[in-house]
Amino acid sequence: MRIIKSIAIHKRSTSEPVPRAVLIDKAYNEIFAPDNLLDMENVNLKRLSSNWAFSHSRLVYDLDLIQSQLLLEREKNIHLQHQFNRQSRLLVDLQKSLARHERLISILSKIGLCDNIVANAHDQISNGKSSIDALILAIREAAAVPESEWSVILPAVTGPKTQTEYTAALNLSLNARKELRKFKKIAKFWKKAALQRVPSLSGLVTPSVSALSSVREKLSSERQDAVNTLVARRVQEARRVLLLPSETVAPIVSSAAAPSRFVSSSLAGSRHHRTFAQETLTHVVAESPKVCLFYRC
């Protein structure tokens, strides 16, 4: 008991030597402790460097995106600048055209040729027509009035009809006659076939254009004015044909695809041509009221 108590109570004094293992561990820690700190700092720096590299890549990507957007906006700006320049030139041209038209309208208004045309064109434009169509219709209506200024101006501007136009008109007339004869033959054939199939229809009378000659109706003032205008126009056209020399009419008739009977009567000479034109004039004057009545002028 006494020995155990003496061992338990005994304590190592400071003068006693430290064990070797403790000294080795202490020396190892003192030597390699800076390396551990450096490793930890290195790990932290690597982590920080990777974060900075990622941030740098994001910034580079954002910079490239902004540069591409900047180039796109520059191209849009160039396109808009070109469009603005075109619109500016167009505006200048429209202003010049407007000034020319204003001067023309002022001159025409001073002369007295533009009042009715402008009013009629304004009415047509208000009804939905285009400006060009409205002006053409207004000038055409003004030129249709006999002995008006426009009825004299337009023929002087357009000039006499060319040989090509007369040839085209003659071909149109001849083709219309050919088609009329063709349809008359077709109608006659089917009428004959119908009468043969149904004998009870033999007494049936079909209407014809000749029934117009028996129509008698008092025309209103507007329709009578339209009839008079139509007759005057047809007479003027027929007189214009009468004033043509035979040398001008002969090649026109000879170049058209006309029946031999019509061509021979047209090429008989100046006397026959003028006789034919006079008969045409008489026929036009006589038939114009009937035609106008038929179409409800």
Long-range contacts of 259-265 (CB under 8 A, 24+ apart): 259/174, 262/174
* pLDDT band of 143, cuts 50, 70, 90: confident
Q: 23 CB contacts (<8 Å, ≥6 apart)?
A: none
User: Counting beta carbons within 10 angstroms of the beta carbon of residue 1, is it exposed (0 to 12), middle (13 to 18) or buried (19 or more)?
Assistant: exposed
- Is position 15 within any domain? no
- Looking at the fold, whether 174 and 101 belong to one and the same domain comes out as no
- Looking at the fold, whether 182 and 256 belong to one and the same domain comes out as yes
- Looking at the fold, whether 118 and 99 belong to one and the same domain comes out as no
Contact 239, 293 (CB under 8 A): no
Amino acid 80: pLDDT: 94
How far does Cα 288 stand from its chain's mean position? 40
pTM confidence score:
0.30
Lowest mean pLDDT segment, chosen from 79-88, 112-121, 165-174, 271-280? 271-280
User: Counting beta carbons within 10 angstroms of the beta carbon of residue 113, is it exposed (0 to 12), middle (13 to 18) or buried (19 or more)?
Assistant: middle
CA separation for the pair 35, 47 (Å, rounded): 18
Residues 194-239 pLDDT 10s: 888 877 766 665 555 554 455 566 778 888 888 888 888 888 877 7
pLDDT at 46 over 80: yes
Amino acid 295: pLDDT: 39
Residue 251's domain comprises: 161-197+217-294
CA separation for the pair 231, 288 (Å, rounded): 6
- Looking at the fold, whether 98 and 223 belong to one and the same domain comes out as no
- Looking at the fold, whether 274 and 247 belong to one and the same domain comes out as yes
- Look over the chain and give the mean of its residue pLDDT values, rounded to a whole number: 72
Number of structural domains in the chain: 3
Q: 153 CB contacts (<8 Å, ≥6 apart)?
A: 113, 143
Contact 174, 259 (CB under 8 A): yes
